[in-house]
Structure formats: structure tokens, C-alpha cells
Amino acid sequence: MRFAREGYPFAAAFILAALIVYLVAGGGWSIPFWLLVLFVLQFFREPVRQIPADPKVVASPADGKVVAVSEAQDPISGEPATRIAIFLNVFSVHSNRIPVSGSVALTEYRAGKFLNAAVDKSAEENERNTIVIRTPQAQDVTCVQIAGLIARRILCYVKQNDAVQMGEKYGFIRFGSRVELFLPLDYSVSVSIGDKVKGGSDVIGRIA
């Protein structure tokens, strides 16, 4: 089990606080701080994932629960698309992964609110970061990181024209969030509402 680099400052801060309280006030008073250390270690865990070998499948961009599968408009192109929304609670792995191989055609950040990411309204009003991946078949797949009620930092590590591979880590959202994927209508979808998925390894669709 690996530990995400995004968690280093939090882990260091809580471990230092726990040690100081332990030395000053004793073991009993330090217990809440050690529990916070355990929470941080759990939240920022980054398990190794088995990436699908088939280049024509779509991998889940995030760990969590599928809360929507519906026809919608792609938020960038405005074209009809299939929207797959995945909700991440505080116990989910929060690394975000590339769903299909290709090149980054666009990245776009938009400030917004911090509504509960479990509800659909958050997809319209919350802070978000969007990337568009152009596949070798010249099709665009849009992936949107959406902040949640207590998620206050969206991290994205790719930029326009970067070459990306399915399953590789491209971002992180701290403390509860939502990720939405917009696929061309001719792509097949292999998940339903209520399914739990793992980012980078679970297949959620297939390229036409």
C-alpha cells in the first residue's frame, strides 16, 4: 500500500502534534491526535491498481459509488454524451486516474460553491476542474473533478498537449468529492447506478 504525496503535510503535522501532546500531557491526551493520524493515513492511501490491458476499454477515473448514468450534454463541446457520475466519500481513495489513453486537448478550472458532492446540483455549481482527452480515434472524453462539502482543494497534474495513459494518476481531491465522465454516445457503458468502482482498474465502458 502506497501513501499519496498529497498527504505528507497532513501526516507530518498530526504526528508532530501527537508527539508534542504525548510528551507534555501524557499518552491519554494524545489519543485523539493519533486517531487523526490514522484517518489521514487511511484517506491518503494509494493502492497499486491493475490497469486493463485492452486499449479499447474505459477505466474508472475514481474510486467511489456510481450515482448517475444518463444522457447529457458534454460540458465543453455541448455535444450529446453519456454522463457517468461517481461520488467519493471520505473513506474512498481520492487519487483520480486517466480513463482512456490519448492526449490532453484542454484543461479548464472554474471556481464555485462547495455543496454536498452527493447531490446532482453540485455538478452545476461547485468548484471544478475539467480535462478533455482526445483518443487515438480522434474522439473526445471529458473528465470533471468536482469539489464537495468539505473538499477545498482540487489538484490536477496534467496540462494541454500532454500524452496520457489509461490508469495513470492525474489528480487528487481532498476530503470528499465527485468525478463525472462524459463519453461519446456510441461508447458502451458497463456500470449502473449503485455500483462501486475502483479508479484505474475497473472497466466502466468501451470505445466504439
DSSP per position, 115-147 = --TTSTHHHHHB-EEEEEEE-TTS-EEEEEEEE
Please give the pLDDT value at position 1: 67
Active site residue 177: yes
Domain ranges, ordered by start, for the chain: 2-46, 57-206
**Of the residues 177, 188, 190, 201, which is catalytic?**
177
Its pTM stands at 0.86
Distance from C-alpha of 115 to C-alpha of 20, rounded to nearest angstrom: 36
Q: For the domain 57-206, what is the CATH code?
A: 2.70.70.10
- pLDDT of residue 24 exceeding 80, the answer is yes
Tens digits of residue pLDDT in 75-116: 999 999 999 999 998 888 889 999 999 999 999 999 877 665
pLDDT one-digit tens code per residue, 148-184: 765 567 899 999 999 999 999 999 987 668 899 999 9
